[in-house]
Structures are given as C-alpha cells and as structure tokens.
Amino acid sequence: MTAVQPVHATAVAQWGPGIGWRAILISGPSGAGKSDLALRLIGRGWRLVADDYVHVFASGEALYTTAPDTIRGRMEARGVGVICACLRGVVRLVLAVDLTESTPERLPDPETRRLAGRSVPLLRLAGFEASAVEKVASAIAPL
C-alpha cells in the first residue's frame, strides 16, 4: 500500500452486480458542482465516500478512496449546510471526473489522471448539466 494522498474532491460509489462497489472521484474548482453532482448520484442509489477532501491510496495495481475521519458521513449541500449521507468505507477508484465551466469536447481523446502513483481514466464534464449523472454512470458501466 502506498502513502495516502489527500485530494480536494468528492467521491461517491455505485454497486455493480458481480463487480462490487466502484468509486468515482469528482474534482473541479469551487462552485463547479462537485457536491451537487454527488447529491444527484446519491439520489440514484450511489453512496457517499467523502465530500470535499478524499484520501486516495494505491494497493497492488488498484487505487482506493476513503474519507478522512473528521468528515466521514457528512457533506456540504450549498444553501442547506452540512448534511448526513449514507456512507461507504474504502472503495476501489475506477474513474476521475473533472468538472469544468467550459463546454467539454464532443468526442474527446481518452485521458487519465495520475493519483498515488497510478493512473485512472479521466472524464471531463460540465457538472450542472442535466445529463452529467447519466454520463458518469455510462462511463463506468461494464461493456
């Protein structure tokens, strides 16, 4: 296991039959919609891993994510305050999502993000776009 890398991001996880829990890491500038996208995913049955700061570490060839103890089970909902959320512990990280204010490319070339010495696929999205939830879900769907 590598050292834990703290990342300014939000992580949520989805259960996949026969696959288990898989997490995505949502990053972007303040106000880009990280927690908003996470709340919409949670509304579709996903679980919070961590909000605002996420611990990422490598074990073997895989990346994993978990919440710092100080914020475990809580997330900030802009305009509401800090709320409690269903929680997952340590989850394998399978996708990084970078929220952008500019319009993402229609057919982007594949990208990766390097975390804790490993690479994970990277998807760039407009966080407040209505279709962002479906885009994230399809990006991690098994083929």
pLDDT along the chain (143 residues), means of 10: 79 90 93 88 91 91 88 68 69 94 76 92 90 90 64
Q: Which domain holds residue 63?
A: 5-140
pLDDT at position 74: 66
pLDDT at position 30: 84
pLDDT at position 102: 72
Say which DSSP state 19 is in.
Answer: T
Task: Indicate the number of domains in the chain.
Answer: 1
pLDDT at position 56: 95
Q: Which amino acid does the sequence have at 100?
A: T
pLDDT at position 141: 77
Here the CATH number for the domain that contains residue 15 is 3.40.50.300
State how far Cα 110 lies from the chain centre: 18
pTM: 0.87
Going by DSSP bridges, is the β-strand pair 91-99/118-125 parallel, antiparallel, or unpaired? parallel
